[in-house]
Structure formats: C-alpha cells, structure tokens
Amino acid sequence: MYGTRSLGASFGAEVLDFQLSGTPSEADIAAIRGLWAEHKLLLFRNQSFDEATLVGFSRQFGDLEIHVREEYLSPEHPEILYVSNIERDGRRIGILSDSEVGWHYDQIYLPKPAVGSLLMADTLPPEGGNTEFADMCAAWEALPEATREKLDGCLANQSYEAFNQAYSVPTNNKQKARSPDIHQPIARTHPVTGRKALYLCPGMTTEIVGWDADESAEMLAFLFDWTTKPEFVYSHAWQPGDALMWDNACTMHRRDPFDPAHARLMKRTTILPPAELAVPF
Ligand code: OGA
Ligand code: MN
C-alpha cells in the first residue's frame, strides 16, 4: 500500500509519502503495522507534527507506557518522554543529555516488555547524535547452533539501575521501586512475529541467571560483541522532520555523543504489547 525504500542495511525501511498527522485509516495503520513487523525499523521523513499527533498516532499501535522518569515527561502529554540536553529554569528537560548512550532495549526491565518506540526529531545539533540499531533476530539466527541450544530457555538479569549508573542520573527511591531488576528470557519469542530474538543488551543485562559468574561474563561479552557486528547494525543520521519507529522486541539501540554547545530535543512514545499478546514468551 505504501512504497518503501531500504535504509541501506539488512533491515529498516523508509516509508514513502506518509504523514503521521494525516488521520490514517484503519487500513493505513494495518499496512504500517505489517511494514513495522517486516522491517523492524521504519523511517518517516519530512513530518510536520505536534505532540498530540505523536500520541494519537502511537496509540493506534497499543497502549502507551508512562515512563518512570516523570521529571522528563512532556508537561502536556505524559505519554511523551523528552530525550534532551536542554535546560530550562535551571533543570534539564530531558533524559540522556549529550554523551554517548550505550546499547539498550527501551524498558527491558518491564514485566511485559514494550513492543515499540517512536522517536521524533524536534531539535537537532548540526552533527553527531546518530542513533544506531541492531537486528537481534538476525543476530540470534546467525549464532552457531550449539550456542543457541545452550542459551535457549536461559534467563538473564536486566537492571535499569546498571544503565543509569553508566549513562544517566540515578533514579529516586520511588522510581527504583517501580523499576527493580527482573529476569527475562535471553532468547525471546517475538509477541507478534513469533520469531526469536536475543533479548539482552550491554547497557542493562548483568548476568545469565544460575550460570557460574565467569562463564556468564564470558558469554555476555561474546554476545555483546556478536550482536553489534556491522552486518547487524544500522546507523541513523537524523534530518529535521524525521520520525523513527522501531520494534523494541527485536532491536536494541545506542546513540553517539554530540557537542554539548548545541541543543538536541527528541520526543518519544513507548508502545506496550496488546493485551491478547501480552504473554510474550
Ligand atoms: C530513546 C533513545 C536515543 C537518541 O529515545 O529511547 O535511546 O537518539 N534515544 O536520543
Ligand atoms: Mn532508548
């Protein structure tokens, strides 16, 4: 229904001639849903949008998660998380500032992990701040069979705290209580496509549950290296008007640093799995 153009990597597609603000029909949404599952990462270029459009469009794909970092939510639309280095009234309005952000899945620490995120460029620096994505389905499928057999059925510990210590500012006690460490399957069956993907990330995965500490560390180091090989990765150089929608059940992402002298503001929604698909494993 909509034309697409490859992003030049083994996954990801630009959707042509589509405006998020254009009140898409049910058929339009079904078409986008199909493309999203097929390509794992969708780029919409030249968008003109406001926050209500972002929330309204995102909601067509599922309930939206209200992020635990309430200090970085949009004052008007709490479904939107600001990712920014901008300060207003002596306080940063967004999460993650200007430094490098390591590989992570959004909210891997939720009991029912988010299936997608939509990120819109509001204000961009002249250079830097590329966002990279890794195809964790392809990474899983390319593993030697013996490694897959060893990992299948194992759980890994996911820690938002570990991510915050490395890349963000600490959470307060109430936020800590809402985002405790959690065990998730290391090979996760995608709730929509039924394909397996590696569900781990350097930013938040601390150990394989029940494994000897050295063996766990060695396997995780191998997997972090493996999943970020160039053949699994796409790097996005943002342009004004860009919106990216990613499959957060089978891709992880990271961000390059950028010059702190320049402002960057991105606006994100996070899509939860539909109730009937909420048993993800
Ligand atoms: C996010 C995120 C990276 C970026 O919004 O989840 O990781 O490019 N953003 O700002
Ligand atoms: Mn993220």
DSSP string, 43-92: EE-S----HHHHHHHHHTTSPBPPPS-GGGB-SS-TT-EEEE--EETTEE
**Which of these CATH numbers, 3.10.20.30, 3.40.50.150, 3.40.47.10, 3.60.130.10, describes 4-271?**
3.60.130.10
The predicted pLDDT at position 44 comes to 98
Q: Is the CB of 131 under 6 A from ligand 1?
A: yes
69 lines ligand 1 (CB under 6 A): no
Q: What percent of the chain has pLDDT over 70?
A: 98
**pTM of this structure:** 0.96
Segment 197-221 mean pLDDT? 97
Give the distance (Å) from ligand 2 centre to CA of residue 253: 6
Tracing tokens 């160039």 back to the chain, one arrives at: 230
Residue nearest to atom 8 of ligand 1 (CA): 131
CA angle in degrees (0–180, nearest 5) for 147-136-256: 125
Ligand 2 ion: Cβ-proximal residues, 5 Å cutoff: 106
What token pair was written down for 137? Answer: 């389905």
Closest ligand to the CA of 132: 1
119 close to ligand 1 (CB < 6 Angstrom): yes
Q: Which residue's structure tokens are 């969708």?
A: 42
State residue 123 phi and psi, 5-degree precision.
-135, 130
Both ends of the chain: CA-CA distance in Å? 31
In the chain, where are the structural domains located? 4-271
> Residue 276 — pLDDT band, cuts 50, 70, 90?
low
The answer on pLDDT for 278 being more than 80 is no
Residue 14 contacts residue 239 (beta carbons within 8 Å) = no
* Encoded amino acid at 134, one letter: A
Ligand 1 contact via 253 beta carbon (within 6 Å): yes
Tell me the pLDDT tens digit for each residue of 136-149.
999 999 999 999 99
26-55 in b/e form (b: 16+ CB < 10 A) is eeeeebbeebbbebbbbbbeebebebebbb
pLDDT at 279: 45
Task: Give me ligand 1 centre to Cα 34, in Å.
Answer: 23
Mean of the per-residue pLDDT values for the chain? 94
pLDDT tens profile 56-92: 999 999 999 999 999 999 999 999 999 999 999 999 9
101 lines ligand 1 (CB under 6 A): yes
Taking the CA of residue 106 as reference, the ligand 1 atom at the shortest distance is 6
What strands lie across the sheet with 13-15, from one edge to the other?
Answer: 4-6, 13-15, 41-44, 243-247, 116-123, 265-271, 81-84, 95-96
- Over the stretch 221-238, which tens digit does the pLDDT of each residue have? 999 999 999 999 999 999
Question: Hunting for tokens 């986008």 — which residue is that?
Answer: 32
281 pLDDT tier (thresholds 50, 70, 90): very low
How many Å apart are CA 75 and CA 77, to the nearest integer? 6
266 CB within 6 A, ligand 1:
yes
Q: Is the pLDDT of residue 280 over 50?
A: no
Whether 236 is in the pocket of ligand 1, judged by its Cβ within 6 Å, is no
Identity (one letter) of the amino acid at 155?
A: L
Say what percent of the chain tops pLDDT 90.
Answer: 86
